[in-house]
Amino acid sequence: MKKAVFDILKAIGEDPEREGLKDTPARVAKAYEHLMQGYSQDPHQILKSAIFNEECNHMIIVRDIEIYSMCEHHMLPFFGKCHIGYIARDHVYGVSKLARLVDCFARRLQVQERLTQQIASHLMEPINAEGVGVVIEAQHLCMMMRGVSKQNSKMITSAMLGSFRNENATRSEFLRLIGMERT
């Protein structure tokens, strides 16, 4: 990876040997190791370690989970917030594992649509949830810094499974509680 960064610096007309860039290939390689750590994580293991028996048949919401990911088309960052809701039956997740699951999938080359669906799908089955809702609001630097250069644009995606998909009242409650329902 260091050699590839060195070659990129040369290709754009920079001198990779100058003082300010001398250590850049190593720094970029280390940064990418961190940014792409989701490939070395198993989402099933993340959740499996924090499933607790709890009779709880109401909506559980964690909102405003920060996300940082990389667009797979331009390898530029996108960032924003993820909101998760689920209705448990007799098991609940440890709250920090929801954020870890989000990071596991976000720390890969992604498109926001897939990221949203992956999070929702992986939450549904392990606890046999009645329903799951995931909404992601994100800004994409590939749209802000290049191309159409729209600075204030935001993409919103949602994945609704089970009762969140089939029952309008459940979906509306979730959207209202995360502040997304329009009056």
Q: Which domains does the chain have, with CATH numbers?
A: 2-35 (no CATH), 50-177 (3.30.1130.10)
Of 72, 113, 125, 181, which one is the catalytic site residue?
Answer: 72
For residue 56, the model assigns a pLDDT of: 85
Do 149 and 132 meet the contact criterion of CB atoms below 8 Å apart? no
Q: Once rounded to an integer, what is the mean pLDDT over residues 68-75?
A: 96
What does the pLDDT look like over 140-152, one tens digit per residue?
Answer: 999 998 888 888 8
For residue 166, the model assigns a pLDDT of: 98
Question: What angle do helix axes 24-35 and 2-11 make, rounded to 10 degrees?
Answer: 120
Active site residue 44: no
Active site residue 173: no
For residue 2, the model assigns a pLDDT of: 97
pTM: predicted TM-score of the whole model, two decimal places: 0.93
Handedness of CA 97, 102, 105, 107 (dihedral sign): negative
Active site residue 34: no
